[in-house]
Amino acid sequence: MRAWWGLFAAFALAAPAASGSTHPAVSLGVDTCAGVDEAGVAAQVKIELGADLAPEAKDVTRVKVRCEGPLLVLTVDDPITGKSLERKIDLGSAAPKARTRLLAIAIAELVSASWTELETNPTPVVAPAGPPPAPEAKAAVRDSVDRRAFAPRIGANVAFDAHVFPGANGTGLLLGIGTRFSTAHMGLGLSVDLVAVQGHGATDLGDVSVDLVGVGAFATYAARTGPARLHGGLGLRGGSARLGGVPRDGTVEGRSLRGAFLGPAAFVGLDVRLYGPLVAVVGVETGVALVSVRALADGQRATTIGGLWLGGQLGLGVAL
């Protein structure tokens, strides 16, 4: 168990370092008619995008803010993706102290909309006109997109669950439903779930009904790949299992028992964004129940909730 946590910690610490420490470059021009603190807007944009502010140059994303009546027109010319974007916003009803931050957020969202194309469409069929950006400039933009993707987030899902104990006697496939809640920041997070499954096993003297309720707690790490998030975790799963005997004839008495199970577990999952906050979730899990539940038939062990288990998950959730 100690070795598992050591490997997890090394992976979590090494992954952010591997992405490099460079920052993309952005130039910013705000007309005085906008009525905001340009230095304050620049400072907020730098924080939101994780970017360096620079003069206009070959691989610098250019942002202009001008006035059009009561509206502010935001224009982004991005040599990294070859895109030009424009958006109109109305800050007339915002408090004067809030206008600077709201404008900075709007600029960051528009720039991110352009930069995200490096993830969603890294090799367009028709290349944009103009000289290609330097590889290090593209890498810096990708790092910025990943950092924004790893902003503080929460998620929840409901899914169909399947569990099996392949090395145990008298247990078949257990099916049911589960729900998972998670939180993460910069890829590192925590996940808690509740699973309820049931099934039937067989012995020489009759059948055994199996009802299992389990709770899992995991330390997690996530990596973003385009519209999907690949995540995994290490932790513990425990809970309660009820085993009930159903004899085949009247000469055998059927009884039931309840006991606890507990052991280390690991899972890997994939969340794929469908629309807005809605995501499809799929995952697999494995673990070892070191504390197990055993039922006897005619003095011999007949059914066991213990040892190695395998699980699967398929469902829907939200990621905010």
3 state DSSP class of 135: helix
* Tens-digit pLDDT profile for residues 254-265: 566 888 999 999
Contact 308, 165 (CB under 8 A): yes
Residue 248: pLDDT above 60?
Answer: yes
Amino acid identity for residue 4 in this structure: W
Residue 261, phi-psi category: left (phi > 0), alpha (psi -120 to 50), beta (remainder): beta
Over residues 74-93, mean pLDDT? 87
192, β-bridge pairs: 181, 217
Banded model confidence at residue 233, pLDDT cuts 50, 70, 90: very high
Looking at every residue in the chain, the average pLDDT score rounds to 79
Banded model confidence at residue 200, pLDDT cuts 50, 70, 90: confident
Question: Phi and psi (nearest 5°) for 114?
Answer: -75, -45
State how far the alpha carbon of 320 is from the alpha carbons of 75, 252, 264, in Å: 27, 55, 29
Which helix (H) or strand (E) segment holds residue 46: the answer is helix 38-49
pTM score: 0.57
Q: Where are the alpha helices (DSSP H) in 126-208?
A: 135-149
Residue 7: pLDDT above 70?
Answer: no
Sheet holding 25-30, edge to edge: 52-53, 25-30, 61-68, 71-78, 83-89
Distance CA 45, CA 255 (A): 67
- Token look-up 């490997």 returns 7
Percentage of the chain lying above the pLDDT 70 cut: 72
Q: If you average pLDDT over each of 141-145, 217-221, 292-296, which comes out highest?
A: 217-221
Percentage of the chain lying above the pLDDT 90 cut: 28
3 state DSSP class of 299: coil
3 state DSSP class of 110: helix
Question: Phi and psi (nearest 5°) for 67?
Answer: -100, 145
Residue 161, phi-psi category: left (phi > 0), alpha (psi -120 to 50), beta (remainder): beta
